[in-house]
């Protein structure tokens, strides 16, 4: 009787699952396959020729190692910054904690390129910081060249990436901390462990899966970042090389095999580290049995917390401040702050057609991909949590794959898919990239929606839906009247984040939009920044200010809706 | 094995007018090796009090003494107490052995001795074969025993148990009561056990404190608290009770005049003549006879009407209506002959020794 009643639901679930799997196969697996395949073809035959050429190329190998070192440094530094902040924020109460915790997320809304531009302006030998130091007499400009605080190069890239990416780990660490039942720590303290030992021996191991998830995202992000190295002039990494080669009309198989090497490195590392650090962790008792004891900090403690949060926030907001100042500066030469302010640039970018169009394009691309993601991701999350279908794990893995596959690789795959002569040429970058860009954005951000909505669904007891059915609601009716309102916050937050990240997207935007009329905002910023015009930095920064404003708004909405659960979205 | 003293402990949550006193001016002394129970309904402050002893919660006022030493300001990890948590709080990332070894390890016990301690402790709770398992591979009863082994392996000065049986099913809970008491008594540790289950407290405790809204209402051995409840709340909370209000008659010691007739109580426990009192009688102490039989001397004989009868297998429970309209419960053994049908008139008999006198 029961089995018979479930049968139709199962059929529907399988049909939906099959449709989604087909879509993901077409637009996720195919491009990856094309890239991988292309790397193995030489003169029309399967061969390891290109792979050998890449492997034998010392410059490329050095670039690969550079990238790994870069990503490792960035991830480690992010962990060092984020874990103490999260621990203080979740375990202590102090005045202004909410405000400071919120400000920590602001770095996420930094549009690409302009942050690097502004940091360079602030920190180079003759930049604002040294001018300020000279002015107050701390350094003597006549005694030789002033210090280069940030260098360009490796250290600069790491600093900028850390300042941009640590909030992802902060969110993850906070969520992981909130999930650790305080009774575990209390039991350890009760049996004689000091607070620090209890944290190291009990809390940290229990946080490991959450930290691992965040660290993976940061690592892959840093490994495949194009924007920061490109603008800081640190070009000895693979993504920059790939980007330059993909921008050419005819793409050599060598590029694809380069991408293949990168993909193997990313996936290989992901699997390896998942095996070493992320193994299921330990399933914890499902719900906390005692309320977390938060410690109210005294005046000294509050001061310390403010110093800790304040210094990180001040550093992390430097690029933003620089962007805003650059956007409104009329004249900023050899002075600490601009010597003349103007709204000209901000006005300029919304009135001139190419910059204005880029804003409009981005809103369209990001908006459309968000709608696609919400529909696809919502259904997928429901199937994964409630669908009771076979092959759930495989489907889940497929949906999470974009987190492990660098955007650059997918972009390269889309280029290959829409290459001249292929049936999909019409949606390729050389014609109108609207469709392929929306698909690219949607595929890349799908994990955020799936994770966000799943997290919500898992918190809604199925009994609530069953009760709805028992009182006469149809399956759809129960979903719309009961489930949807209960997970609305997660759905909206997932959508908002998808939108924000699509607006910020770099690799797809740079590679797939090749005609100026179709440039999204990120590519336009890059074009302006690299144009070499006198006011290039100002115009790029002005665009950046609009980007920041839009993203800031969306994050504020997401944060207000989700609170601490925001971290669940960044879980691989 | 230490004496635990609580001196005027108060714990308030919140501040100003909205402050709630979870524990309100509680003083208690728990003797060495005693198995002491804190009993009360949920929200009465018993768990907060336990957490104050452990050091997990700092009291707003008052002192905690362990073995005569003031530990009020001492950090949790230096109190040498060991707690069995309601959720067990077995660390899911460690094996059973690692969980049990944790306490000795934190006290700097060497590897070999630690192993031996853990093995002995696990052996005592019959979990030695599961040492290599992870906690989530164990059943609820097994987890409960491991949690106890972990606490005992720490060789604590006092053992604190927070509703340790509440997550087990009814049958297992019954079985664990005896076992748990034996283990705790064999360890010789002073133990404090928090529960809302009166049967648990009555069957396991050496002594118990009944708590209500943050205050200790009565302290005593199980029989004292059950037979001589200090207040209506205690009488009600521990099992069933029938109440009858009256006034002590002048000139006749132990005689209480009530609206339904005189009730005799033990003279030595009777307040002076003229006092308003409430007589409290347990349902199983009442004998119910038909109207025809003569009243026995010294006992109360209250005429009543049977209103309802509930068959409970081993017992029958009657609901009787007294002449003043109050409802009384009477418990009779199931096999007892002469079932009174609803509607029939009966007389309720009970001895003076079975009446508790409440003066509140």
- Band of residue A287 on the pLDDT scale cut at 50, 70, 90: very low
User: What H or E segment, with its residue span, contains residue A292?
Assistant: none
| Statement: residue A430 has pLDDT above 80 | no
pLDDT at B217: 95
Subunit contact B93:A282, Cβ cutoff 8 A: yes
| Span of A32-41, B268-277, B310-319 with lowest mean pLDDT | A32-41
Structure tokens at B21: 């006193």
Task: Please tell us whether the domain made up of B4-236 is placed in CATH 3.40.50.300.
Answer: yes
pLDDT at B238: 92
| Pairwise CA distance, residues A518 & B245, whole Å | 91
Subunit contact A197:B106, Cβ cutoff 8 A: yes
Subunit contact B83:A184, Cβ cutoff 8 A: no
| Statement: residue B280 has pLDDT above 90 | yes
What is the CATH classification number for the domain harbouring A411? 1.10.3720.10
Subunit contact A193:B77, Cβ cutoff 8 A: yes
Q: Report which of residues B295 and A276 the model is more confident about.
A: A276
pLDDT at A1: 34
Which pLDDT tens digit goes with each residue over A542-568?
A: 888 888 888 888 777 777 766 655 555
User: What average pLDDT score do residues A60-81 get?
Assistant: 90
Please, what is the Cα angle at A347 between A341 and A350, to 5 degrees?
Answer: 150
| Pairwise CA distance, residues B344 & B346, whole Å | 7
CB contacts of A187 in chain B (<8 Å) are 83, 85, 89, 91, 150
Q: Report which of residues A333 and A154 the model is more confident about.
A: A154
User: What average pLDDT score do residues A187-208 get?
Assistant: 88
Subunit contact A282:B136, Cβ cutoff 8 A: yes
Structure tokens at A300: 């000294």
pLDDT at B224: 93
> Could you tell me which residues are beta bridge partners of residue B357?
B279
- Band of residue A571 on the pLDDT scale cut at 50, 70, 90: very low
Residue of A nearest to B77 (CA): A192
| Statement: residue A286 has pLDDT above 60 | no
In the 3-class helix/strand/coil scheme, how is B269-289 assigned residue by residue? HCCCCCCEEEEEECHHHCEEE
Subunit contact B91:A197, Cβ cutoff 8 A: no
| Statement: residue B271 has pLDDT above 90 | no
Which pLDDT tens digit goes with each residue over B339-351?
A: 778 888 888 888 8
Is residue B254 within 8 A of residue B286, CB to CB? The reply is no
Among A180, A183, A187, most B C-beta atoms within 10 A, so best to mutate, is A187
pLDDT at A249: 62
Residue of A nearest to B93 (CA): A282
User: What average pLDDT score do residues B85-97 get?
Assistant: 85
| Pairwise CA distance, residues A50 & B334, whole Å | 92
Is residue A508 within 8 A of residue A407, CB to CB? The reply is yes
How many alpha carbons fall within 13 Å on the CB side of residue B34?
19
| Span of A268-282, A348-362, B307-321, B335-349 with lowest mean pLDDT | A268-282
Subunit contact A289:B57, Cβ cutoff 8 A: no
CA distance B309 to chain A (A): 36
Subunit contact B85:A289, Cβ cutoff 8 A: yes
Please, what is the Cα angle at A562 between A557 and A568, to 5 degrees?
Answer: 120
CB contacts of B91 in chain A (<8 Å) are 184, 187-188, 202, 206, 282
Give the number of A-B residue pairs with CB atoms closer than 8 Å. 80
Subunit contact A191:B86, Cβ cutoff 8 A: no
Subunit contact A191:B54, Cβ cutoff 8 A: no
Residue of A nearest to B154 (CA): A191
| Statement: residue A368 has pLDDT above 80 | yes
pLDDT at A562: 65
Nearest Cα to Cα of residue A242 among A252, A228, A232, A231? A252
In a domain, A306, yes or no: no
- Band of residue A288 on the pLDDT scale cut at 50, 70, 90: very low
* Structural domain for A77, as ranges: 7-40+54-281+314-570
CB contacts of B54 in chain A (<8 Å) are 186, 190
In a domain, A66, yes or no: yes
pLDDT at A337: 77
pLDDT at A569: 52
CB contacts of A193 in chain B (<8 Å) are 77, 102, 106
pLDDT at B31: 95
Q: How many domains does chain A have?
A: 1
CA dist A230 → A20, A61, A242, A322, B220 (Å)? 36, 19, 12, 19, 79
| Span of B3-12, B53-62, B246-255 with lowest mean pLDDT | B246-255
Among B107, B136, B150, select the one facing A283 at the smallest CB separation: B136
Among B56, B93, B102, select the one facing A206 at the smallest CB separation: B93
Q: What is the mean pLDDT of chain A?
A: 79
Residue A142 burial by Cβ neighbours in a 10 Å radius (0-12, 13-18, 19+): exposed
Name, in order, each residue with C-beta under 8 angstroms of A28's C-beta and a sequence gap of 6 or more: A398, A401, A402, A405, A410, A443
Q: Which residues of A touch B (CB under 8 A)?
A: 181, 183-184, 186-194, 197-198, 202, 205-206, 281-285, 289-290, 293
How many alpha carbons fall within 13 Å on the CB side of residue B235?
23
| Span of A1-15, B37-51, B91-105 with lowest mean pLDDT | A1-15
- Band of residue B297 on the pLDDT scale cut at 50, 70, 90: low
- Band of residue B293 on the pLDDT scale cut at 50, 70, 90: low
pLDDT at A469: 65
How many alpha carbons fall within 13 Å on the CB side of residue B86?
16
CB contacts of A283 in chain B (<8 Å) are 92, 136
Which 3 state secondary structure label does DSSP give A180? coil
Among B71, B93, B140, most A C-beta atoms within 10 A, so best to mutate, is B93
User: What average pLDDT score do residues B277-286 get?
Assistant: 91
Subunit contact B83:A282, Cβ cutoff 8 A: no
| Pairwise CA distance, residues A467 & A482, whole Å | 10
CA distance A75 to chain B (A): 24
Number of other CB atoms surrounding residue B257 within 10 Å: 14
CA distance B121 to chain A (A): 15
Q: What is the mean pLDDT of chain B?
A: 89
| Statement: residue B37 has pLDDT above 90 | yes
pLDDT at A567: 53
Which pLDDT tens digit goes with each residue over A502-537?
A: 888 887 888 888 788 888 888 888 888 877 777 888
pLDDT at A141: 67
- Band of residue A572 on the pLDDT scale cut at 50, 70, 90: very low
Q: Report which of residues A108 and B192 the model is more confident about.
A: B192
Subunit contact B82:A289, Cβ cutoff 8 A: no
Q: Which residues of B touch A (CB under 8 A)?
A: 54-57, 75-78, 80-83, 85-89, 91-93, 102-103, 106-107, 134, 136, 150, 154
Start and end residues for every CATH 2.40.50.140 domain found in chain B: 240-358
Is residue A116 within 8 A of residue A128, CB to CB? The reply is no
Among A190, A197, A282, select the one facing B82 at the smallest CB separation: A190
In a domain, A321, yes or no: yes
pLDDT at A7: 41
| Pairwise CA distance, residues A524 & B30, whole Å | 76
In a domain, A244, yes or no: yes
Task: Please tell us whether the domain made up of B240-358 is placed in CATH 1.10.3470.10.
Answer: no
Among A191, A283, A284, select the one facing B106 at the smallest CB separation: A191
CA distance A107 to chain B (A): 34
CA dist A227 → A114, A116, A504, A525 (Å)? 9, 8, 11, 11
CB contacts of B80 in chain A (<8 Å) are 192
In the 3-class helix/strand/coil scheme, how is B216-241 assigned residue by residue? EEEEECHHHHHHCCCCHHHHHHCCCC
pLDDT at B231: 93
| Pairwise CA distance, residues B121 & A355, whole Å | 74
CA distance A283 to chain B (A): 6
Which pLDDT tens digit goes with each residue over B189-224?
A: 999 999 999 999 999 999 999 999 999 999 999 999
In a domain, A305, yes or no: no
Structure tokens at A192: 């004689």
Subunit contact A190:B77, Cβ cutoff 8 A: yes
Residue of B nearest to A284 (CA): B92
Subunit contact A191:B93, Cβ cutoff 8 A: no
Structure tokens at B251: 């000139």
Subunit contact A191:B89, Cβ cutoff 8 A: no
CA distance A189 to chain B (A): 5
pLDDT at B122: 94
CB contacts of A290 in chain B (<8 Å) are 85, 87
Which pLDDT tens digit goes with each residue over A137-146?
A: 777 767 666 6
User: What average pLDDT score do residues A79-100 get?
Assistant: 85
Subunit contact A285:B77, Cβ cutoff 8 A: no
Subunit contact B103:A191, Cβ cutoff 8 A: yes
Subunit contact A206:B102, Cβ cutoff 8 A: no
Subunit contact B136:A184, Cβ cutoff 8 A: no
- Band of residue A2 on the pLDDT scale cut at 50, 70, 90: very low
Is residue A94 within 8 A of residue A296, CB to CB? The reply is yes
């Amino acid at each position: 009787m029961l089995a018979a009643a479930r049968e139709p639901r199962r059929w529907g679930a399988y049909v939906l699952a099959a449709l989604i799997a087909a879509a993901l196969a077409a637009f996720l697996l195919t491009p990856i396959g094309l890239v991988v395949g292309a790397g193995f073809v030489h003169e029309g035959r399967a061969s390891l020729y290109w792979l050998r050429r890449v492997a034998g190329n010392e410059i490329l190998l050095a670039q690969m190692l550079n990238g790994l070192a870069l990503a490792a440094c960035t991830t480690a530094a992010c962990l060092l910054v984020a874990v103490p902040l999260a621990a203080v924020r979740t375990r202590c109460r102090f005045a202004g904690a909410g405000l400071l915790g919120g400000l920590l997320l602001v770095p996420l809304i930094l549009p690409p390129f302009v942050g690097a531009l502004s940091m360079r302006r602030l920190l180079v030998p003759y930049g604002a910081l040294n001018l300020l130091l000279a002015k107050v007499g701390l350094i003597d400009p006549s005694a030789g060249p002033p210090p280069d605080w940030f260098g360009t190069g490796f250290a600069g890239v790491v600093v900028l990436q850390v300042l941009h990416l640590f909030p992802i780990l902060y969110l993850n660490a906070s969520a992981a901390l909130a999930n650790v039942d305080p009774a575990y720590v209390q039991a350890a303290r009760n049996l004689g462990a000091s607070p620090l030992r209890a944290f190291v021996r009990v809390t940290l191991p229990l946080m490991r899966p959450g930290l691992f998830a965040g660290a993976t995202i940061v690592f892959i992000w840093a490994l495949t970042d194009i924007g920061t190295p490109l603008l800081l002039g640190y070009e000895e990494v693979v993504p920059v090389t790939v980007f330059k080669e993909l921008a050419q009309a005819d793409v050599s198989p060598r590029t694809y095999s380069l991408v293949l090497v990168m993909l193997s490195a990313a996936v290989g590392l992901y699997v390896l580290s998942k095996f070493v650090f992320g193994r299921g962790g330990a399933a914890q008792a499902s719900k906390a049995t005692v309320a977390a004891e938060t410690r109210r900090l005294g005046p000294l403690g509050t001061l310390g917390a403010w110093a800790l949060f304040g210094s990180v926030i001040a550093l992390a907001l430097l690029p933003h401040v620089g962007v805003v100042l650059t956007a409104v500066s009329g004249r900023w030469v050899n002075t600490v702050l601009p010597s003349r302010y103007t709204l000209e640039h901000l006005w300029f970018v919304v009135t001139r057609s190419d910059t204005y169009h880029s804003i409009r394009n981005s809103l369209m691309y990001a908006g459309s991909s968000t709608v696609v993601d919400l529909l696809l991701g919502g259904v997928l999350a429901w199937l994964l949590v409630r669908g009771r279908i076979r092959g759930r794990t495989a489907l889940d893995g497929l949906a999470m794959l974009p987190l492990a596959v660098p955007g650059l690789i997918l972009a390269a795959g889309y280029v290959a898919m829409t290459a001249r002569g292929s049936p999909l040429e019409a949606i390729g970058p050389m014609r109108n990239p609207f469709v392929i860009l929306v698909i690219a954005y949607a595929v890349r951000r799908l994990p955020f929606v799936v994770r966000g909505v799943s997290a919500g669904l898992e918190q809604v007891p199925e009994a609530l839906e069953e009760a709805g059915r028992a009182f006469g609601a149809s399956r759809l009716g129960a979903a719309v009247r009961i489930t949807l309102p209960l997970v609305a916050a997660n759905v909206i937050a997932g959508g908002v984040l998808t939108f924000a990240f699509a607006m910020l997207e770099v690799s797809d935007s740079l590679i797939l939009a090749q005609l100026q009329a179709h440039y999204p905002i990120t590519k336009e910023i890059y074009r302006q920044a690299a144009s070499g015009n006198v006011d290039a930095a100002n115009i790029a920064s002005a665009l950046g200010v609009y980007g920041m404003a839009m993203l800031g708004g969306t994050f504020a909405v997401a944060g207000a809706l989700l609170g601490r659960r925001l971290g669940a979205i960044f879980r691989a | 094995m230490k004496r635990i003293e609580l001196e005027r402990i108060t714990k308030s949550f919140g501040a100003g007018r909205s402050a709630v006193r979870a524990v309100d001016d509680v003083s208690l002394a728990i003797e060495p090796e005693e198995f002491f129970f804190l009993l009360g309904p949920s929200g009465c402050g018993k768990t907060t009090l336990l957490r104050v002893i452990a050091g997990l919660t700092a009291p707003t006022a008052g002192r905690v003494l362990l073995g005569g030493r003031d530990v009020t300001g001492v950090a949790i990890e230096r109190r040498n107490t060991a707690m069995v948590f309601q959720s067990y709080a077995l660390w899911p990332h460690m094996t059973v052995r690692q969980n049990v070894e944790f306490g000795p390890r934190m006290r700097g016990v060497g590897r070999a001795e630690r192993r031996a301690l853990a093995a002995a402790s696990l052996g005592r709770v019959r979990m030695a074969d599961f040492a290599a398992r992870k906690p989530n591979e164990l059943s609820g009863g097994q987890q409960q025993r491991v949690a106890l082994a972990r606490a005992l392996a720490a060789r604590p000065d006092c053992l604190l148990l927070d509703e340790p049986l509440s997550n087990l099913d009814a049958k297992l809970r019954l079985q664990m009561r005896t076992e748990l008491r034996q283990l705790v008594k064999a360890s010789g540790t002073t133990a404090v056990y928090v529960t809302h289950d009166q049967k648990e407290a009555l069957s396991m405790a050496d002594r118990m404190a009944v708590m209500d809204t943050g205050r200790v209402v009565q302290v005593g051995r199980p029989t004292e608290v059950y037979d001589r409840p200090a207040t209506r709340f205690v009488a009600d909370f521990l099992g069933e009770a029938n109440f009858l209000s009256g006034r002590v008659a002048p000139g006749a010691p132990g005689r209480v005049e009530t609206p339904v007739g005189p009730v005799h109580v033990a003279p030595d426990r009777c307040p002076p003549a003229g006092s308003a009192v409430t007589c409290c009688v347990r349902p199983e102490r009442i004998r119910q006879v038909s109207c025809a039989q003569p009243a026995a001397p010294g006992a109360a004989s209250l005429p009543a009407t049977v209103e309802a009868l509930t068959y409970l297998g081993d017992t029958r429970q009657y609901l009787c209506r007294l002449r003043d309209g109050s409802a009384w419960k009477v418990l009779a053994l199931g096999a007892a002959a002469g079932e009174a049908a609803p509607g029939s008139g009966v007389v309720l008999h009970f001895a003076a020794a079975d009446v508790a006198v409440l003066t509140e």
